[in-house]
Chain A
Amino acid sequence: MSYINTHVRWERMTLFGILFLAVMIPLILPIGWRTDVSPHVQMVYDLVDKTPPGSAILISFDYEPSTMPELKPMAMSLVDHAWQKGHKVIAVALWPMGVQMANDVFSELTASPSEISSDEIPDVQTTDVKEKDESDEMMTPAVSANSIRRYSSKRYGIDYVNLGFKSGAMVTIKAMGRNIRETFPTDTFGTPIDSLPIMDNIVHLRDLAYIISLSAGDPGLKQWIMVAHDNFKVKVSGGTTAVSAPGFLPYINNRNQLRGLMGGLKGAAEYEKLMGTFGPASIKMDSQSIAHVIILVFIAIGNVRSFRRRRKQRQARDKE
């Protein structure tokens, strides 16, 4: 019995060791595999891309640090894209820690390249995008591949705002549908909403061009679809962790309940591809791809062992 326990423990440790190396090596030495863009991610991209400049949009940060590796790259690409198109970004959070997640994304994208530490994003160059006037803001900045754009000239309260967290999930969204200003009388820093120019003329959810929820669970994208789209007819799109993406596919239908979906790291990498950047999701996709293959190899080995064991048992029975 002791031998079996030791054997199982060693077997498990070997599996863990191999998987650890399979994840770590591509992170340190990125391979650079690119992925095909799926129709659902293309839908999200088109929604952002075809919205007129100057539109106010809402991104709901419904995740916490545990799911950051999957959802933060989506948030970075989405805010980047929205700012490229000249949209005004309003952030809210249905999860308490979503507030910090939003602040994190905004501060990273508005930091000047010199402020970014070299170990923050390995092997990714940064390009600062400065808008001089309204017309410049609408232009797509000319950046090379392998770059993350920085918008050091974007100003809080004018180009973006973080309204913070509000408990209540579905009821909060319903209340926002009736009146955003009553639901969020101040932003997360305590600044009255009336003194924020970005919030001028924004009263209801209907005043927003689209809503994107980056959702790690409940409450999140599902509630936005059920209330913001189904009750208030606002365009809703989103990104989720890979594990919960299959549950949202029925909402992508001819009623346009959900306009596209980014599922997990692959969805984020696909969006980066559409954006022409090689960002954190693309780098991590190499690790994920290798890890998936390793797991498949484990499954194959497990099946061969099981098959041999069953054959032995059958032979032993036949002898008896």
Chain B
Amino acid sequence: MKRTIPVIITFVVGMLVIISEFVPHKPFGSIAGTLENWFLIIAGFAIILGVLSLLRMSGHKINSKAPNWQYYLAGIISFSVMVLVGVLWGMRESRGIFGDGENLFNWLGAKPFDYLFNNFFIHLSATMFSLLAFYIASAAYRAFIIRSFESNLLMITAVIIMLGRTSLGNIMTGWLPQNMQFLHLPRIADYIMIYPNSAAQRAIMISAALGVIGSSLRIILGIERSYLGGGN
């Protein structure tokens, strides 16, 4: 029963939403609208679920002194501080329990939450993302080696795209006469992106869409039940 009822609900709701796409009139249109509103409410609660999951998982790692448990502790402390200052003094667009915290505002130049967000979170996030550049440079140096015809092709394409997507590519071939402009690096890069790239992307997108349709049908028809948890 614990598994049958959710499967029946999934089937009924899934079928209603599919039918409403083809018959957007009453009652299907309004039912689909109501279901979407329910989804928005449930999606809001997912944030609470996420927070609980984060705390439970991090707490477990800290308790069992798992490798790098210190990072999980730092995560919980950072999370708690942000929640606390947000609840106590609010954010730019909202008041907290203690109002706007004028004294702290005068001292920091912003509300504590906004101060931490602007001066810590933004820079740390940007740093994390920027580290990719270093790893890509190191990986390119080691891995982008010509070994076969395919890797040769890949590297030539990568060089053209990298140069064509920078100002330098423009400078390198910008001097070419009008009748040789087809060799202008940004133009070649655009050609590669618009034609071969788009063709490959379309193939991937169509395959992925077919995969999504297939797995959705499996879920709606009750063949795929792993989302219910509890093993098979």
Contacts and interface: CB of A to CB of B under 8 A. Distances in A.
B198 A65 contact: no
Interface in B152-194: 155, 158-159, 162-163, 165-168, 170-171, 174, 186, 190, 193-194
B138 to A, nearest CB: 6
A121 interface: no
Given A38-B186, A171-B39, A298 B141 contact: yes
Which applies to chain A's interface (DSSP): helix, strand, loop or mixed?
Answer: helix
A202 interface: no
Interface residues of A, number: 59
B125 A295 contact: no
Contacts of B174: 36
A158 interface: no
A65 B144 CA distance: 30
B167 A167 contact: no
Contacts of B186: 35-36, 38
Contacts of B201: 246-247, 249-250
B165 A266 contact: yes
A298 B122 contact: no
A69 interface: yes
Interface string B40-73: 1001101100000000000000000000000000
B133 A33 contact: no
Contact of A68 (B122, B155, B159): B122
Contact of B137 (A16, A188, A264): A16
Given A33-B168, A246-B197, A189 B43 contact: no
Given A103-B93, A175-B36, A23 B126 contact: no
Contacts of B93: 99, 103, 164, 188-190
A100 B163 CA distance: 34
Given A19-B137, A289-B167, A302-B144, A175 B190 contact: no
B1 interface: no
Contact of A35 (B92, B121, B129, B167): B167
B125 A35 contact: no
A147 interface: no
Given A293-B166, A302-B142, A66 B43 contact: no
Contacts of B198: 249-250
Contacts of A264: 165
Interface residues of B, number: 52
A285 B167 CA distance: 7
Contacts, number: 141
A69 B127 CA distance: 11
Nearest to B44: A167
Interface in A1-53: 12, 15-16, 19-20, 23, 33-36, 38-39
Contacts of B136: 295
A140 interface: no
A171 B32 CA distance: 11
Contacts of A247: 201, 205
Contacts of B129: 66-67
Interface string A280-305: 00000110111111111011011100
B163 A167 contact: no
A172 B40 CA distance: 7
A242 interface: yes
Interface in B171-229: 171, 174, 186, 190, 193-194, 197-198, 201-202, 205
Pick the 5 closest A-B CB pairs, nearest first: A33-B167, A289-B166, A66-B129, A65-B125, A65-B122
20 contacts: A15-B137, A65-B125, A67-B129, A68-B126, A167-B44, A171-B43, A175-B40, A190-B93, A249-B201, A250-B202, A289-B168, A291-B133, A293-B168, A295-B137, A295-B162, A298-B140, A299-B140, A302-B145, A303-B146, A306-B146
Interface of B: 33, 36-37, 39-40, 43-44, 46-47, 92-94, 117, 121-123, 125-126, 128-129, 133-134, 136-138, 140-142, 144-146, 155, 158-159, 162-163, 165-168, 170-171, 174, 186, 190, 193-194, 197-198, 201-202, 205
Given A15-B138, A249-B198, A292-B162, 6 more contacts: A39-B190, A167-B44, A175-B36, A269-B167, A292-B166, A292-B168
